[in-house]
Structure 1
Amino acid sequence: VHYQEKYYAAGKVPGGFFKREARPTEKETLTARLIDRPIRPLFVPGFKNEVLVMCTVLSHDLVNDPDMVAMIAASAALTISGAPFRGPIAACRVGFEDGEYILNPEVDDMQDLRLKPEQRLDLVVAGTKDAVMMVESEAY
């Protein structure tokens, strides 16, 4: 799985001498792994062909994190691709603030996770209609 957030998706142009996109950021690498984890076990046993999933963020509203959308898009693409994929999957992020659980919190809320004592949860759940495929959590 390859995940990339283009600078122009957020209306930015790389500054400095090099005007090209650099190597993947840590967030892009972690998001690629996050996408890969729930879809890999859904290929039929014995399927050994190479499958390349590329998720490229072309436009970003700077409010919502595109990683959950990319995970669902990768699942949808694999489902209609003709590959032996037993999907689709759904995914969501759950945050916690002021005693309330928040479904798919905004980017600013999640960036302040460590700074806000009242918001202590970053939980990502992905699964099919029959099973939970992945749970990843960061909590304080």
Structure 2
Amino acid sequence: MARTKAIVAGLACLLLVSACGVPMQKIPVSTDPLGATVYADGKKTCASTPCSVSLDRKSDHLLTIVKDGYEQEEIVLHRQFKPDKAIRDGFISGMILGDGPEGVASRTAKEVDEQERSGEAYVLTPSIVTIKLTPKGTGI
């Protein structure tokens, strides 16, 4: 009985920690040549590549890459639905708590819904940005 309570308490703590704040994802950005400035959704986020930008997973984002003497590049990062973790979390908590098949299914659906609303069920793609910058005036 004490073990079950400890497991339930541990799961509750994990749920509380994961529910705080907006889920973020670090996206490494590199350019050839190095030293470009990166803007995320119009805000300067990196003064010189290579670097990483931290973006919330609740929406798509536009990265703009600028370097004097080179064409400006824009990359759209799309959020992609990945419910695997939510399904696993709901299934495990339902099994640990001894729910029947309907309870496990209900917990799983609830977990997917919660992680979809929080943004936790999404990842941004591409997860790494590597750009070869085009010199201005080359017509390429």
TM value normalised by structure 1? 0.30
Greater gyration radius: 2
Higher relative contact order (CA 8 A, sep 6+): 2
TM value normalised by structure 2? 0.30
Name whichever structure is richer in helix by fraction. Answer: 2
